Amino acid sequence: MGALFHTFIYQPLYNILIFLYNIIPGADFGIAIIIITIFLRFLLMPIYKKQIESQKKLQELQPKIKELQKKTKNDKEKQARELMELYKTHKTNPFSGCLPLIIQLIFLIAIYRILINISDAGLKANPMELYSFVKDPININRYFIFLVDLTKPNIIIALLAAIAQFFQTKMMMPALILKDKKAAPQDEQQPDIAQIMNKQMLFLGPILTLIIGVKFAAGLSLYWLSSTVFMLIQQIYLKKKENSLK
C-alpha cells in the first residue's frame, strides 16, 4: 500500500509541484502550492458533485425520516434497521460525505510529506524523486509572497483555513439541518445519523484544521486554505446555477 501511495500519489504530486515552482516567475513555492491545489480540486470535482447530490437526497428524505423516527421511537433497534432500509430504497448513503474527506486527507498527507521532506533536505528537491523531464531547482525559496515561511507554522493562515472550513461545511449542510429544532417533546427530538454527523463536522472540522495549522508547516495550511476557498466558490456557483434553473 505504501509503494502504491508513493508511486501514484506522492511522486506525481512531488514532480508537479517542483515543475510549477520552476516555471512560476519569481520562484514562489507558495503560489506553486496554490496552483497544484486548484489542479487537485478540478480532479475531485466529479466526486464532489456526487457528494452534493447525496446531500440533496438526504434533505428530501427528512420528512420521511422524521415520520419513521416518530413511529419507532420506542424501539431503537427497529428504528436503525428501518432507517438503513429507507436509505437503501432511495439509494442514499448517510456516510457518503465521508468519501471526499478521506480522498482529500490522502492528498493532504502527500502534500505534508512533500513539504516536510523538502524542508528536512535543506530546501532542496530530491533528484531521486524527480522525473527525467523535471529540472532540479537546487535551492527552493521557502517564502510565500516574501513574507510567510512555508516551513514553519503560521497562526494567521491556520486561522483563515479554519474559518473557511467552517463556512464551507455550513454551506454544504442541508438547510433543514441548520435550522433550530422547533419546540417539541424531548422524546420526539431524535436526530438521524446524518444530522448528528453533519452537526459534529460543522465544528470538529475547523477545530482540527486550526490545531493542525498551528503545529505544522504553513505550506500545509496554505494548501488547505486554498482547497477550501476553491470549494466555497464552487458551491456558490453551483447554488446560483441551480437557482437560475429553478
- Please state, in angstroms and rounded to a whole number, the distance separating the CA atoms of residues 150 and 221: 9
Q: List beta partners, residue 149.
A: 143
Rounded to the nearest 5°, which phi and psi values hold at 126? -90, 110
CA–CA distances in Å: residue 119 to residues 31, 122, 129, 143, 152: 17, 5, 15, 12, 10
Share of the chain above pLDDT 70, in %: 87
Q: Is the pLDDT of residue 171 over 90?
A: no
Sequence-separated (6 or more) residues with CB below 8 Å from residue 110: 5, 9, 10, 13
- The alpha carbons of the chain give a radius of gyration, in whole angstroms, of 22
Q: Is the pLDDT of residue 174 over 60?
A: no
Q: What is the pLDDT of residues 116-152, one digit of tens each?
A: 888 888 788 999 999 999 999 988 998 999 889 988 8
What's the pLDDT at 107? 87
What's the pLDDT at 108? 81
- Please state, in angstroms and rounded to a whole number, the distance separating the CA atoms of residues 192 and 64: 11
Domain ranges of the chain: 2-178+188-245
Q: Is the pLDDT of residue 237 over 70?
A: yes
Q: Is the pLDDT of residue 179 over 70?
A: no
pTM, two decimals, is 0.76
- Please state, in angstroms and rounded to a whole number, the distance separating the CA atoms of residues 73 and 182: 18
Q: What is the pLDDT of residues 64-80, one digit of tens each?
A: 888 888 888 888 888 88
What's the pLDDT at 87? 82
- Amino acid code (one letter) for 164: A
Q: What is the pLDDT of residues 184-212, one digit of tens each?
A: 444 444 455 556 666 777 788 899 999 98
